[in-house]
Structure 1
Amino acid sequence: MHPHNDQQQDWHDFEIDSAREIVTLLRAIGDKKQLVRMLIKGETDVCLTAVLEVDTERGTVVLDCPVNAEQSRRAGGAERIAFETTLDKIRILFSSSQLRSVTHEGRPALEMAIPETMIRLQRREFYRMATPVSLPVMVCIPLPPELGGGTAAFPLADISCGGIALFDQKLVLGNSIGSHFQGCVLDLPEIGSVTTALHIRNALDLTVLNNKTRHRLGCEFVDISRGNLNLIQRYITRLEREHNARVAGLG
């Protein structure tokens, strides 16, 4: 998935792993005949499909074949396929590692396993501020032995009272969705440092300027103290004030 960078400031992302909720969402996408964009890993062209049926007994989703037969053939052999659609103005992202060619009501179709997780990008729950790009705010995360030990520093993409998004360009944190990291230290300029545990909720690859891709991890604060939360709120207020001053200066 490659949502553009500027959209990220307006959305709050949640990973859904409740099987019942995933089935409900897939059925709603099918009932409303929402078009689903399908992106085959390693390819640039996007094909369109739709959800035809969700079979909970077999644990499968049946999708309409793309109009282009060659795309259908390639989808059947792809190692990973990403899907993106919208439902009631909320963007839904999910993926599959395997599609099979099947027949549905006498017509060719594609079948995949019901995804174990989905990401729902919805209107922000917490007010999020993008952090400066030129002088990035850093978070230091202690690494467990299986990730090499020591600590690693990552630049922030944005911050809210609920969590942060960080960029992990070198994939130091590996495939860490669902992981908890204790004793993470946020260094907030002119405010002070904040120590908190972080829970990694999701990962997105963002296409930024010059078509470069950045690996973005959405993290939630865990058991953050009231004092530390106050520091974060003060920092967000300061960022807001600086942003407003820049806008006023430009106006």
Structure 2
Amino acid sequence: MFSHLQDADLENWHDFEVESRREIYALLRGIGEKNQLIRMLIGGEADVCVTSILAVDEAANAVFLDCSIDAEQNRRVLTARRLSFETTLDKVRILFAADQVETATYQGNPAFKIAIPTTLIRLQRREFYRIATPVTNPVRVQIALPAALGGPATFPLADISCGGIAILDNKMVLGQAIGKEYPDCRIDLPEIGPVTTTLQVRNALDLTLLNNKTNRRLGCEFINISRGNLSAVQRFITKLERERNARIAGLT
């Protein structure tokens, strides 16, 4: 169900899927009551806005969300084929999606309305927490490919966690390569330094953009990463979190 989420990075979503309507309602209500900010992905990481839950109406099967002050962004939300949402509640990461969004009013103010999701993803394990890497100045990984494939190749990262990375292979250099391991990969982390590790491709997702170009996203797991390299990854994630929190604080 969550194959369109920006982080199609977990091999077994069902292990973390919540299907109990009562539990989903309680989680969404908790997110709203604590005024947790929610990242709403309109077109993947390239088009993201911040929203929050205004109310959850179980009888009407509706979740009311803040809309943007940007009319053009609101238009993109309403015309999106699918929206993905990401937030946290008590340090637990919550992911859900909506196929349809409508305009509504809540307490006299404009709002968005979506149906209460039938399932959501709840990730409690810290190592699965992924954070998007910068789009404008992307982090890059060099993979030592054999000469038959053109030799070493460099790919931009889409996100990073303590368990692995997602890379963008838009030229389809690697193929889907699921299960394949690439030793001695070098990830250059800005302000932190290089990290070297073996990567194993765990999943692949092709995303068709609005201009009909296709992006391929490969979820890769760190294999036997050293403690020093993992520490560098953790420091980089902390740095990204600090920068993202500062940006979000500036929007509120």
Which TM-score band (shorter chain)? 0.5 to 0.7
* Aligned twin of 1:165: 166
Which residue of structure 2 aligns with residue 194 of structure 1?
Answer: 195
- Residue 6 of structure 2 is matched in structure 1 by 8
- 1:38-77 to structure 2, matched below 5 A, reads none
- Aligned CA-pair RMSD: 2.9
**Partner Cα distance (1:15, 1:176) in 2:** 18
Amino acid across the alignment from 1:13 = L
- Go from structure 1 to structure 2 and tell me whether the alpha carbon gap of 1:176 and 1:12 turns closer, same or farther (over 3 Å shift): closer
Q: Distance in 1 between matches of 2:209 and 2:235?
A: 29
Distance between the aligned counterparts of 1:147 and 1:154, measured in 2? 14
Structure 2 unaligned runs (5+)? 15-94, 98-119
Query: Which one of the candidate residues 134, 147, 150 is aligned to 2:149?
Result: 147
* Count of equivalent residues: 147
Select which of 126, 129, 133 maps to 1:127: 129
Residue segments in structure 1 that go unaligned for 5+ positions in a row: 22-88, 92-120
Aligned-residue offset at 1:3: 4.7
Amino acid at match of 2:195: V
Kindly provide the amino acid, as one letter, of the partner of residue 177 in structure 1.
I
By how many angstroms is 1:90 displaced? 9.7
Return the offset for 1:130.
0.4
Paired amino acid for 1:219: C
**1:212 deviation in Å?**
3.7
The residue that corresponds to 1:227 in the other structure is: 228
Kept after mapping to 1: 8 A contact 2:142/2:186: yes
Letter in 1 for 2:238: T
TM-score scaled to structure 1, two decimals?
0.53
Q: In the alignment, which residue of structure 2 is the partner of 1:136?
A: 138
| Residues 67-97 of structure 1: per-residue CA shift (max 9 Å, x gap) | xxxxxxxxxxxxxxxxxxxxxx999xxxxxx
Identity %: 61
4+ residue runs over 2 A deviation:
1-4, 121-125, 144-148, 207-213
Q: State the one-letter code of the partner of 1:250.
A: L
Task: From the superposition, tell whether residues 90 and 12 of structure 1 become closer, same or farther in structure 2 (CA, over 3 Å).
Answer: farther
Instruction: Tell me, in whole angstroms, the C-alpha distance in 1 between the residues paired with 2:175 and 2:9.
Output: 22
Q: In the alignment, residue 6 of structure 2 is paired with which amino acid?
A: Q
- Tell me which amino acid in the other structure corresponds to 1:236: I
Larger Rg: 1
Say which structure, 1 or 2, has more relative contact order (CA 8 Å, 6+ apart). Answer: 1
The question of whether the paired residues in 1 share the 8 Å contact of 2:188 and 2:195 is answered with: yes
Alignment correspondent of 1:205: 206
